[in-house]
């Protein structure tokens, strides 16, 4: 049997001509990737500076009130935000802004590991913050913090970010919104989380040089490298709670050194 190759080619060409044209490949939209959280600790624990399991009859002398209201209850530390509305200035009295409840520790550190157990009991946010009241380049000496919510963990470089005096002033000017956004690039990061109210979690916050790493129940949860974290005189550690209520227990603070100096 002889095959008419010319006829076969013609039939094939006719068949392909009837097929619909292929859709052009559209490039996928760029998705911002979060920095990988180091799988291992960035900080090596050294001297234990402070420990409180809240079993003592009286609070440790290092604790002090910053913003109401915290209470020592049932062998733990409970925070409940009571400044939950802003009171306008009136009758010669200044404005009182809504603010999370904050309890402080006079524990000076540079690089450190803070470990505690936390529980959401109606609270919307629980955090660990580092400040230096003598530092005048940022509002109230705010340096950096790790915030935990049921759906995410945020690390903020406040010294060189949102609390830096000039940036904070610019934020009041709507015409400088784009400029502020540019200055804040890389100063804050949020990672997703899935936490449950009513359950205790072990929160660990490590600060070494310009790096902060957060773990929850031993699992890497968030990481940021930013210059303000490296502030050498973190004179205060503060615990915060937004909403009602949030709990802390088994608080420990160590001096630390980098794992890889």
Band (pLDDT 50/70/90 cuts) for residue 11 is very low
Sign of CA dihedral 154, 158, 160, 165: positive
Q: Is residue 211 part of a domain?
A: yes
Q: Is residue 26 part of a domain?
A: no
Number of domains in the chain: 1
Note the pLDDT tens digit of each residue in 113-151.
999 999 999 999 999 999 999 999 999 999 999 999 999
Q: Is residue 25 part of a domain?
A: no
Is the pLDDT score of 245 beyond 70?
yes
Q: Is residue 34 part of a domain?
A: no
Determine the Cα–Cα distance for residues 158 and 34; give it in Å rounded to an integer. Answer: 19
Is the pLDDT score of 21 beyond 60?
no
Residue-number span of the structural domain to which 165 is assigned: 49-83+98-256
Is the pLDDT score of 157 beyond 70?
yes
Note the pLDDT tens digit of each residue in 37-86.
999 999 999 999 999 999 999 999 999 999 999 999 999 999 999 998 88
CATH number at residue 131: 2.60.120.560
Q: Is residue 39 part of a domain?
A: no
Q: Is residue 241 part of a domain?
A: yes
Determine the Cα–Cα distance for residues 254 and 48; give it in Å rounded to an integer. Answer: 4
Q: Is residue 16 part of a domain?
A: no
Run of H or E including 170: helix 165-170
Note the pLDDT tens digit of each residue in 190-219.
999 999 999 999 999 999 999 999 999 999
- Between the alpha carbon of residue 123 and those of residues 29, 75, 215, 241, the distances in Å are 36, 19, 20, 7
pTM for this predicted structure: 0.85
Is the pLDDT score of 8 beyond 80?
no
CB atoms within 10 A of CB 132: 20
Band (pLDDT 50/70/90 cuts) for residue 32 is low
Q: Is residue 41 part of a domain?
A: no
């Amino acid at each position: 049997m002889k095959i008419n190759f010319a006829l076969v080619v013609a039939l094939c060409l006719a068949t392909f001509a009837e097929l619909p044209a292929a859709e052009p490949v559209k490039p996928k939209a760029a998705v911002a990737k979060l920095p990988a959280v180091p799988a291992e600790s960035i900080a090596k624990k050294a001297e234990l500076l402070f420990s409180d399991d809240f079993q003592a009859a009286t609070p440790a002398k290092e604790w002090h009130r910053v913003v109401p209201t915290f209470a020592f209850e049932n062998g733990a530390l409970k925070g409940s935000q009571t400044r939950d509305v802003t009171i306008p200035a009136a009758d010669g009295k200044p404005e009182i802004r809504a603010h999370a409840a904050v309890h402080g520790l006079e524990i000076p550190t540079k690089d450190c590991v803070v470990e505690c157990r936390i529980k959401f009991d109606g609270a919307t946010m629980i955090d660990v913050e580092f400040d230096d009241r003598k530092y005048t380049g940022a509002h109230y000496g705010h340096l950096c913090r790790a915030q935990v919510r049921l759906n995410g963990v945020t690390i903020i470089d406040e010294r060189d970010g949102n609390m830096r005096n000039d940036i904070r002033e610019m934020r009041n000017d709507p015409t400088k919104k784009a400029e502020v956004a540019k200055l804040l690039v890389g100063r804050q990061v949020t990672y997703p989380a899935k936490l449950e109210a009513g359950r205790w979690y072990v929160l660990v916050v490590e600060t070494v040089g310009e790096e902060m790493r957060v773990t929850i129940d031993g699992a890497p949860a968030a990481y940021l490298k930013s210059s303000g974290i490296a502030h050498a005189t973190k004179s205060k550690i503060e615990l915060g709670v937004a909403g009602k209520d949030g709990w802390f227990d088994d608080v420990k603070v160590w001096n630390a050194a980098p794992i890889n100096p």
